[in-house]
Amino acid sequence: MPKEKYDPPDPRRIYTIMSAEEVANGKKSHWAELEISGRVRSLSTSLWSLTHLTALHLNDNNLARIPPDIAKLHNLVYLDLSSNKLRSLPAELGNMVSLRELLLNDNYLRVLPYELGRLFQLQTLGLTGN
């Protein structure tokens, strides 16, 4: 049986925020906002370790589900999940009590988790196009 061919990632789509030397020396980054777009279908589990984020833009992708681990991003104030293929949301979103803006527009949502009622800081909830 032939071995599967390994295609390395396209270097045009790889971006580094810090050099390998900075990471090795323990330098910390200070960015608080992240945008991931471009028909993304799944998210790396390493994303959930970025607990310093205050804004996360995951709009305009092909995400069919959001893992419960998203609740580890406890400092998020802004979360945009618009224009994906979401049919449901994890109940753990209700634990993200710092959220002020949650955009869920243009998905396939019919029911929201009861736990979203705990988001007392929420000022904007976008649901159009569901």
Residue numbers of the domain that contains 43? 29-126
Q: Closest by alpha carbon to 79, among 60, 112, 104?
A: 104
Side chain identity, residue 128: T
Q: Report the C-alpha dihedral over residues 60, 63, 64, 68, rounded to 10 degrees.
A: -120
Query: Cα 115 to the chain's mean position, in Å?
Result: 19
Structural domain contains residue 1: no
Question: CATH code at 64?
Answer: 3.80.10.10
CA distance linking residue 112 with residue 127, whole number of Å: 10
What's the pLDDT tens digit per position in 58-113? 999 999 999 999 999 999 999 999 999 999 999 999 999 999 999 999 999 999 99
Q: Closest by alpha carbon to 104, among 76, 77, 85, 123?
A: 85
Element (DSSP H or E) covering residue 35: strand 33-35
Say how many domains are in the chain.
1
Share of the chain above pLDDT 70, in %: 82
